[in-house]
Amino acid sequence: MSYRIFAINPGSTSTKIALYEGDQEIFSASVKHEAEKLAEFATISDQLPYREEMILDEVEKAGVDLSTVDAFSGRGGGLLSAEGGTYAVNDILLDHATRGANGVQHPAMLGPQLAHKFALKYGKKAYVVNPPDTDELQDVARMTGIKGLYRASHMHALNLKEMTIRHAASQGKKYEELNLIACHLGGGITVSAHRQGKMIDGNDIVGGDGPMTPTRCGSIPVVEVLNYMEKNDVTADEMRKLCTKSGGFVDHLGTSEGLDVVAMIEDGSKEAEMVWETMIYQVNKYIGSMASALHGKVDAILLGGGMAHNDGLVQEVKDANGWIAPIFVYPGEFEMIALASGVARVLEGKEELKEYTGVPYWKGFNF
């Protein structure tokens, strides 16, 4: 039996929606939201009735009958760290999503809330799949050289997990049977190590860790950051933006689009060429480090995200890392179908449903 799953992925200026029956997309749309309208709401959660109405209008125009849906799946923002998997939206999860228990105010908080609203309306159940705060780091990946300061798990978990699960299936294997290096190459970049079904290490995309990206500065020596802030009178808030929104291509070249950078290179820009090559160089370094985290036992390296469409970039990664393991390319993102597939695996009995307890996955060291 193929289940019909309605997926909801709220973003800063749009809400992506899609209906899947099995792996087949029945309907999809990106519901646009005017910035001026969103500015009328004091908090992100206050946007809930507005976004719900906009989604209902869109599905009605498309002739989609939501009463035929078996389950609703929303992007899981606002939650505390949890093990990867699919979770039913319970009272604790809904409360954490509504108030942003993790301290991050992001439109993804509306994912569980919208899924819950539709589930109530149509008498079905609501779920979240591999939320942004998915945390399966091994302990040695958490420790730093400053007591009381630990690395957090912030990666493109939804896309990375789906990519690894699908790759394993394509090889006639289970995700839990393989060691994989999975890379999401988009506006943000994650290079992650997966050991037998757990995402044990990877760069913190929120914390300014990892390769330079189109919008993020990537890892920089801490003392150099402090020197830069003092010399240029840069505030902590301004530095945070360089870490997550306005660094990388944006700071160097004034664009967040990889295609724009490639065009600049073709027009002869040496700066654009250096920035592009530096990003790829840093991706390659992190892939190498993840191979070490897996003790060299790597079954495959997977490349996904929008920039995986660039043949030149892919070839450079293959040239640098092909000796580690076979490299497979899954360009684009699996985020929408991942929201549906995770729920379908649970309904089909292929994956165990997780319970969100509100207790962080990692609670500190016992020393």
Q: Are residues 318 and 213 in the same domain?
A: yes
Whether 359 is in a domain gets the answer no
pLDDT at residue 14 is higher than 80: yes
Q: Provide CB contacts within 8 A for 174, sequence distance 6+.
A: 168, 197
Q: Are residues 297 and 343 in the same domain?
A: no
Whether 11 is in a domain gets the answer yes
* Mean pLDDT on 130-140: 95
Q: Provide CB contacts within 8 A for 284, sequence distance 6+.
A: 316, 317, 320, 321
Q: Are residues 226 and 99 in the same domain?
A: no
Distance CA 362, CA 294 (A): 21
Whether 360 is in a domain gets the answer no
Whether 239 is in a domain gets the answer yes
Average pLDDT taken over every residue of the chain: 96
Q: Are residues 109 and 181 in the same domain?
A: no
* Mean pLDDT on 201-212: 93
Q: Distances from the Cα of 258 to the Cαs of 219, 242, 283, in angstroms? A: 20, 18, 15
Distance CA 197, CA 351 (A): 12
Q: Are residues 166 and 120 in the same domain?
A: no
The one-letter amino acid at 267:
D
pLDDT at residue 35 is higher than 90: no
With cut-offs at 50, 70 and 90, classify the pLDDT of residue 367.
confident
Query: Is-contact 148 142, C-beta < 8 A?
Result: no
Note the pLDDT of residue 244.
Answer: 86
pLDDT at residue 1 is higher than 80: no
Note the pLDDT of residue 206.
Answer: 86
pLDDT at residue 119 is higher than 80: yes
Choose among 258, 254, 130: nearest CA to 187: 258
Note the pLDDT of residue 43.
Answer: 95
The one-letter amino acid at 195:
R
Whether 233 is in a domain gets the answer yes
Distance CA 202, CA 184 (A): 11
Choose among 204, 207, 199, 183: nearest CA to 287: 183
Note the pLDDT of residue 104.
Answer: 84
Residue numbers of the domain that contains 253: 139-333
Print burial letters for 286-300: b (CB count within 10 Å at least 16), e (below 16): bbebbbebbeeebbb
Q: Are residues 164 and 43 in the same domain?
A: no
Q: Are residues 58 and 156 in the same domain?
A: no
Residue 256's domain is classified under what CATH number? 3.30.420.40
**pLDDT tens-place string over residues 94-109:** 999 999 999 888 999 9
Q: What are phi and psi of 157, to 5 degrees?
A: -60, -40
Q: Are residues 155 and 86 in the same domain?
A: no
Choose among 262, 299, 260: nearest CA to 280: 262
Query: Is-contact 15 8, C-beta < 8 A?
Result: yes
Concatenated DSSP letters of 78-140: TPPPB-SSEEE--HHHHHHHHHTTTS---GGGHHHHHHHHHHHHHT-EEEEES-TTB----GG
Q: Are residues 25 and 48 in the same domain?
A: yes
Note the pLDDT of residue 207.
Answer: 87
Q: Are residues 153 and 121 in the same domain?
A: no
pTM of the predicted model, to two decimals?
0.94
Please give the share of the chain, as a percent, with pLDDT higher than 70.
100
Q: Are residues 127 and 170 in the same domain?
A: no
Top-confidence residue, 282 or 13: 282
With cut-offs at 50, 70 and 90, classify the pLDDT of residue 342.
very high
Q: Provide CB contacts within 8 A for 20, sequence distance 6+.
A: 4, 5, 7, 26, 337, 340, 341, 344
Q: Provide CB contacts within 8 A for 306, sequence distance 6+.
A: 185, 186, 187, 258, 331, 332, 333
- Provide the number of structural domains found in the chain: 2
Distance CA 235, CA 232 (A): 9
Note the pLDDT of residue 204.
Answer: 93
Whether 105 is in a domain gets the answer yes
* Mean pLDDT on 217-225: 96
Whether 9 is in a domain gets the answer yes
pLDDT at residue 161 is higher than 90: yes
Distance CA 223, CA 179 (A): 35
Q: Are residues 329 and 340 in the same domain?
A: no
Whether 261 is in a domain gets the answer yes
